[in-house]
Amino acid sequence: MNNNEDIVLKLKNLKVHFPVKAGVFKRTVAHVKAVDGVDIDIYRGEVLGLAGESGCGKTTLGKAILRLVEPTGGQVSYNATDNEITELTSLTKKEMDPFRKKLQIVFQDPHSSLNPAFTIFGSLEEPLKKYGVSKRSERRKIIGDLLEAVNMHREYMDRYPHEFSGGQRQRIGIARALCIDPEIIVCDEAVSALDVSIQAQVLQLLMKLRKERNLTYLFITHDLSVTEYLCDRIAVMYLGRIVELCKAEDLYKNTLHPYSEALISAIPVADLDKKTKRIILEGDVPSPVNPPSGCPFHPRCPKAQDICKTKVPELKKYSTDGNEHYASCHLINQPEIS
């Protein structure tokens, strides 16, 4: 699966810096480095998890891929099924339109992502209108089918968002992302706002749709137990950079980066037999305006050495259980693979 043709989306040194303005003339005094040089290849048909604490830039990265936030540097290239590679970051707004059909997003908060003044049909028909389904009857049919695909009644399309519960609204959000048949869906904390019993329903629905429609997901979440269940590979982000990227099971079995280790140990597990020692990290995530020198994690890292304070570690390739495993830490005692 890891040959080049299968890469559907290639992020190369992607950067999103937001200016911080101050003073009477609103001069730019600093930059928030929300995403600071991210390289990821997303393979066709995989579920890539993107995990990290709040403020680490995972949502910004998701939005930058869709150009809902303009990247300030680097490239996002999309590889169509016929191997035609397009660099999305260099397109104008108009040129971007046909690619919006391939890339869709499901937002975190189902209460605020649907327009309360529109019926469900009204919200869902917009993308169809834009992409050339001109007959109303046809649109009604497509939307009806979609609602059934997300386990809801066809008749619900004439109701308003306030008539639905959180879980139902999230499913409508998923239906909206699906309605123009995208290839890649960015799920930005799609299950975080839901109750646990409803969360399981939505997770199963996402798995079912992926199988039926051969979708690729970029699944952004802070909940590592969900990523482990759902994802093929997981990328862990810290302060705008990827610190570890590997197969889902390797992240738990053969953790390489001390941050991932601490993150995993901090998750409360609903299993009395599995009590592990929590690694307590000191302090909070530093401000991305003024990140620490060297390795951005070193002020909180329990294993930090002198080298970590001065030299920024690069994302290097290792091998665990025969799988590719990327991590950026000076203190890994494993041979690097080129």
> Length of the chain in residues, anyone?
338
Helical segments of the chain, H only:
58-65, 93-100, 120-130, 136-149, 166-178, 196-213, 224-230, 248-253, 258-266, 306-310
Instruction: Output DSSP code: residue 271.
Output: -
Q: Are 191 and 202 in contact (CB under 8 A)?
A: yes
> At closest approach, how far in Å is the CB of 263 from another protein?
6
Q: Which is nearer to another protein, 92 or 197 (CB)?
A: 197
Residue 22 main-chain phi, psi, to 5 deg: -150, 165
Please state, as a whole number, how many other Cβ atoms lie within 10 Å of the Cβ of residue 23: 8
Stretch that binds another protein, among 131-139, 161-169, 212-220, 314-322 (CB under 8 A): 161-169
- 203 forms part of the interface with another protein (CB under 8 A): yes
Q: Which stretch binds another protein (CB under 8 A): 13-21, 30-38, 61-69, 218-226?
A: 218-226
Q: How far is the CB of 167 from another protein (least distance, A)?
A: 6
In the window 259-298, what residues touch another protein (CB under 8 A)? 262-272, 274-275, 278-281, 283-285
Q: Which residues of 314-336 are buried (b: 16+ CB within 10 A; e: fewer)?
A: ebbebebeeeebbbbbbebeeee
Contact flag: residue 304 with another protein (CB under 8 A): no
CA pair distance 265, 279, nearest whole angstrom: 6
**Cβ at position 96, least distance to another protein in Å:** 34
Q: Tell me if 211 contacts another protein by CB under 8 A.
A: no
Is residue 195 near another protein by the rule CB under 8 A?
A: yes
Distance CA 198, CA 111 (A): 15
96, 198, 304, 312: which one binds another protein (CB under 8 A): 198
Residue 295, SS3?
Answer: coil
**Distance of alpha carbon 47 from alpha carbon 184, whole angstroms:** 10
201 binds another protein (CB under 8 A): yes
**Residue 12 identity:** K
C-beta of 28: minimal distance to another protein in Å? 23
Token couple for 255: 């953790």
| 106, 173 contact by CB (below 8 A) | yes
**Binding residues with another protein: total (CB under 8 A):** 44
* Binding segment toward another protein, per CB under 8 A, in 11-19, 112-120, 130-138, 222-230: 222-230
Nearest distance, CB of residue 197 and another protein, angstroms: 4
Q: Where does this chain bind another protein (CB under 8 A)?
A: 53-54, 165, 167-168, 195-201, 203-204, 222, 224-226, 228-230, 248-249, 252, 262-272, 274-275, 278-281, 283-285
